[in-house]
Amino acid sequence: MDRKSLGVAAFLALAAAGATTAYAQKDKALESIDAYREALQDGNPAELYEATGEELWKTPAGPKNASLEKCDLGLGAGVVQGAYAQLPRHFADTDRVQDLESRLLTCMETLQGKDPKPYIQASFKDPPKEEMNALSAYISGLSKGMPINVRPTHPKELAMVELGRRMFFFEGGPYDFSCATCHGQEGTRIRMQELPYIPSAKGAASGWTSWPAYRVSSGEMWSMQWRINDCFRQQRFPEPVYASDATIALSLYMAATASGATMKTPGIKR
């Protein structure tokens, strides 16, 4: 070993010793966060959004004064039970791979005659998006306890999952961040927030099975599109367009990687 390597070795040893001492404290802090999360499971305010979503689904609206009850989410017209667990997938009528929210836009346009634009352009806290968040809560709730069944077979699904994988590792912006910067290592944290390692089945499942979710700190019901949007904000990227292909590709990559795991939606987060 030359002097430089010795220095590095000494630095590593010292860092390791420091880390061990600090670890006991940290474990306690993490444990109390876990206990808080568990306590939250007792009553999830997402239920209120599920009820609103159900009403939105069943109430006639739009220029055609129709409900969404004939919407095909992939299991046939009107089937909501288990539908979220098999999305995103390819739809023959649009010849596109769609996630829940892009599929809802299709149904709102075709069944209800609504213009999807205001829904796409609204901020996540504005009324059109509140509808989407509530619908997401309701529909995802009817897949709770079911296994994710997302196994790309259609050529467009196969292409999309690879585009999603590539998007996940795509670095850009002033901070050189990609999704993988935070979600590409096993067992790391940002501050005290533990991060799932999304390229693994376990990590992808921990993310995919728990969103949409109610966020206690902000009192908001977040759809998966909102979750991904805020990841890109923190990544210092420009804003992803609502229900755009990049967001669907990432969703498909996560869902396919997590396939087989049990849905826990809608989730609750601190």
Partner 1 sequence: MKHLVVLAALLLSGPALAQSAGKPAWGPGADDAAFAAMLKTSFKDKGIAKLDRLTQDETQAFCSDPGAASGPAAAAQREKIEAANMATVKWPSDGKWLGDWKEGEKLAQSGRGLTWTDKADQPNGANCYNCHQITPQEISHGTIGPSLLGYGKVRGTSEDALKATWAKIWNAKASNACSLMPRSGHMGILGEAQIRHLMALLLDPQSPVNK
Q: Is the peptide bond before 266 cis (omega within 30 degrees of 0)?
A: yes
**Could you say whether residue 192 binds partner 1 (CB under 8 A)?**
yes
Binding-site member from 1, 155, 217, 219 for partner 1 (CB under 8 A)? 155
**Could you say whether residue 117 binds partner 1 (CB under 8 A)?**
no
User: What angle do the packed helices 100-110 and 127-141 form, to 10 degrees?
Assistant: 110
User: Distances from the Cα of 31 to the Cαs of 16, 214, 268, in angstroms?
Assistant: 22, 21, 17
Residues 195-234 that bind partner 1 (CB under 8 A): 195, 197, 199-200, 233-234
Q: How many residues bind partner 1 (CB under 8 A)?
A: 63
Close Cβ partners of 221 (under 8 Å, ≥ 6 residues apart): 45, 46, 49, 133, 134, 136, 137, 212, 213, 214, 215, 266
Q: Which stretch binds partner 1 (CB under 8 A): 19-27, 50-58, 91-99, 136-144?
A: 19-27
Least distance from partner 1 to the Cβ atom of residue 192, Å? 5
Q: Which stretch binds partner 1 (CB under 8 A): 75-83, 96-104, 127-135, 154-162?
A: 154-162
Q: What is the per-residue DSSP string for 86-131? A: G-SEEETTTTEEE-HHHHHHHHHHHTT---SHHHHHS-TTSHHHHH
**Could you say whether residue 29 binds partner 1 (CB under 8 A)?**
yes
**Could you say whether residue 7 binds partner 1 (CB under 8 A)?**
yes
Close Cβ partners of 2 (under 8 Å, ≥ 6 residues apart): none
Least distance from partner 1 to the Cβ atom of residue 145, Å? 26
**Could you say whether residue 8 binds partner 1 (CB under 8 A)?**
yes
Measure the N-to-C terminal CA separation of the chain; round to a whole number of Å.
48
Least distance from partner 1 to the Cβ atom of residue 190, Å? 5
- Residue 111 burial (CB count, 10 A): 20
Binding-site member from 70, 117, 189, 270 for partner 1 (CB under 8 A)? 189
> Judging by beta carbons within 10 Å of its beta carbon (0-12, 13-18, 19+), is residue 61 exposed, middle or buried?
middle
**Could you say whether residue 163 binds partner 1 (CB under 8 A)?**
yes
Binding-site member from 91, 177, 208, 222 for partner 1 (CB under 8 A)? 177
Least distance from partner 1 to the Cβ atom of residue 60, Å? 33
The rounded distance, in Å, linking the Cα atoms of 11 and 6 is: 8
Query: Which residue, 57 or 197, has its beta carbon nearer to partner 1?
Result: 197
Query: Which residue, 76 or 174, has its beta carbon nearer to partner 1?
Result: 174
Q: Which stretch binds partner 1 (CB under 8 A): 36-44, 49-57, 83-91, 235-243?
A: 235-243
**Residues with active-site annotation:** 231
